[in-house]
Structure 1
């Protein structure tokens, strides 16, 4: 970057994401630590999701924002002390998780529509999870490095099929060591 050129929030977001992925791939972060660090970074950015998706960056940010919040809260509801002492709070957090995964799926649809479903590949991935097997799909944005989205939303599968970009096959995930690692 040239001297005197200020980094945008998106530059900061994508640089941090790339650094976290690198640390995870090297083994410097566990999946749990990756999720926590990503969530803390997004929180520090203090940038709320965008109402309109009129750029790739906004679409990816929204997807990552909602996904990070949902995953972080999933970590929270596994806390045995929290479950024992505050069952009402656990139910509230579980509702937040559902809400954020729903918003993540809305972000996927908005981004795919913005991209006109061009240069996209989608398929089911092989999962070690009994629950996710034959449900979890991977959406690869071929024009962008390392942009892989995941969902179990059947409405998204239907739309991908209508657009002719969904292959009804099961493949190994491009990020299998992350997707199939428990946290």
Structure 2
């Protein structure tokens, strides 16, 4: 893919993503619809992650790709549980979820390194889920609009602490309306 094609792909991707974020913020769509519309956009447009992260845009693009894929498969597992399917029926989805979340964390780390941890804030966020409380943290890339990452990764947490950008105080997420909404 040429550089011009990459730019067009990234621009269209972010235009779609930003429109969906605004619709979600305005209450026009719920979290599940937000995820499904993102997933459908990626499938319909044959979106693939970049091999190298050499720009903020490619890093966010990859992060969103892996995040949407993981959450989409997570919704499929939840549906299968509700439909009474056995674990063996959806174990492939569980493997997919783990793979996509692992890739999302690798992307997060690569993006943070590319940005040299500059103008980054990170902290644990207040969660309504007792399972995620004290585990899920937020990474805000202050130089960019809608650039909020989340992780539970211990190794990324250690890197954030080592770089001196992790605040030990638990805070309300800047996108609390999203992270504490079930899907």
What TM-score bracket applies, with the shorter chain setting the length?
A: over 0.9
TM-score (norm 1): 0.92
Match of 2:115 in 1: 115
Counterparts in 2 of 1:81 and 1:135: CA distance versus 1, 3 Å = closer
> Is the Cα–Cα contact under 8 Å of residues 31 and 181 in structure 1 kept in the other structure?
yes
Distance 1:156 1:80 in 2: 31
Distance 1:32 1:81 in 2: 16
Q: 3-state SS of the aligned residue for 2:78?
A: coil
Q: 3-state SS of the aligned residue for 1:79?
A: helix
Match of 1:175 in 2: 175
Equivalent pairs counted in the alignment come to 177
How large is the Cα RMSD of the aligned pairs?
1.5
Match of 2:9 in 1: 9
Question: Residues 41-98 of structure 1: CA distance to partner in whole angstroms, max 9, x if unpaired?
Answer: 1122212111211111110011000000000001101124786456434001011001
Q: 3-state SS of the aligned residue for 1:96?
A: helix
> Is the Cα–Cα contact under 8 Å of residues 39 and 68 in structure 2 kept in the other structure?
yes
Counterparts in 2 of 1:82 and 1:126: CA distance versus 1, 3 Å = closer
Question: Residues 109-151 of structure 1: CA distance to partner in whole angstroms, max 9, x if unpaired?
Answer: 0000000111100000000010110111100001001110000
Match of 2:139 in 1: 139
Q: Which runs of 4+ in 1 moved over 2 A?
A: 80-89
Q: Within 5 Å, which residues of 2 pair with 1:119-130?
A: 119-130=119-130
Match of 2:36 in 1: 36
Distance 1:132 1:87 in 2: 22
User: Structure 1 unaligned runs (5+)?
Assistant: 1-6
Counterparts in 2 of 1:83 and 1:118: CA distance versus 1, 3 Å = same
Distance 1:40 1:114 in 2: 29
